[in-house]
Structure 1
Amino acid sequence: MTQEFSASYWQKRYENAQTGWDVGTITRPLKEYFDQLQNKGQRILIPGCGNAYEAEYLFGLGFRNVFLVDVAEAPLQSFAERVPGFPKAQLLLQDFFSLESKYDLIVEQTFFCALHPAQRQAYAAKCAELLTPGGKLVGLLFDTEFQHEGPPFGGSREEYRTYFEPYFKFLHFETAYNSIPPRQGRELFIELES
Structure 2
Amino acid sequence: MNDANIVLNQHRLDQASSQSPLDCYRALMASASLPGADPSAGWQDAWEAGIIPWDKGQVQHALEELFTENGAEWGFESVRLGRALVPGCGRGYDVLFLTRRVKECWGIDVSRKAIEMAKAWAEAQADTEDCVFSFHVEDFFKFAIPPGSFDLAYDYSFFCAISPSQRLHWAQRYAELINQGGKLITLLYPIDGDRPGGPPFSVDPEDVNILLSRVGFKKILCRMPSHPRHPQLLAFQGSIVLPAILGV
Q: TM-score, normalised by structure 2?
A: 0.68
- Shift in Å, 1:160: 2.0
* Contact residue 184 and residue 236 of structure 2 kept, 8 A: yes
Which of 98, 107, 114 is matched with 2:161 structurally?
A: 114
The one-letter code matched in structure 2 to 1:74 is K
> Is the partner of 2:96 in helix, strand or coil?
helix
Number of the residue aligned with 1:161: 209
Which of 64, 67, 81 is matched with 1:31 structurally?
A: 64
> What is the distance in 2 between the residues matched to 1:25 and 1:51?
9
Aligned pairs, how many? 186
* Contact residue 91 and residue 121 of structure 2 kept, 8 A: no
> What is the distance in 2 between the residues matched to 1:153 and 1:95?
19
Q: Equivalences for 1:77-96 in 2 at 5 Å?
A: 77-84=116-123, 90-96=134-140
> Is the partner of 1:119 in helix, strand or coil?
helix
Say if 2:105 is the partner of 1:105: no
The one-letter code matched in structure 1 to 2:170 is Y
Number of the residue aligned with 1:68: 107
Number of the residue aligned with 2:5: none
Instruction: Answer with 1 or 2: which has the greater Rg.
Output: 2
Greater shift, 98-107 or 28-37, is seen at 28-37
- Shift in Å, 1:62: 5.6
* Contact residue 34 and residue 58 of structure 1 kept, 8 A: no
- Shift in Å, 1:118: 0.5
The one-letter code matched in structure 2 to 1:17 is G
Q: TM-score, normalised by structure 1?
A: 0.85
**Structure 2 alignment gaps of length 5 or more:** 1-29, 239-248
Q: Which runs of 4+ in 1 moved over 4 A?
A: 85-89
- Shift in Å, 1:134: 0.3
The one-letter code matched in structure 2 to 1:150 is G
Number of the residue aligned with 1:185: 228
- Shift in Å, 1:162: 2.5
> What is the distance in 2 between the residues matched to 1:57 and 1:172?
20
Between the aligned residues of both structures, percent identity stands at 26
Which of 43, 49, 63 is matched with 2:83 structurally?
A: 43
Number of the residue aligned with 1:123: 170
- Shift in Å, 1:30: 0.7
Number of the residue aligned with 1:151: 199
> What is the distance in 1 between the residues matched to 2:82 and 2:205?
28
RMSD: 2.4
Q: Which has the higher contact order (CA 8 A, sep 6+)?
A: 1
Number of the residue aligned with 2:98: 58
**Structure 1 alignment gaps of length 5 or more:** 178-183
Does the C-alpha gap of structure 1 residues 62 and 134 become closer, same or farther in structure 2, counting only changes over 3 Å? closer
- CA deviations 1:115-145 (Å, max 9, x no partner) are 0011111001100111111011103012234
Number of the residue aligned with 2:41: 8
* Contact residue 7 and residue 71 of structure 1 kept, 8 A: yes
Does the C-alpha gap of structure 1 residues 88 and 113 become closer, same or farther in structure 2, counting only changes over 3 Å? same
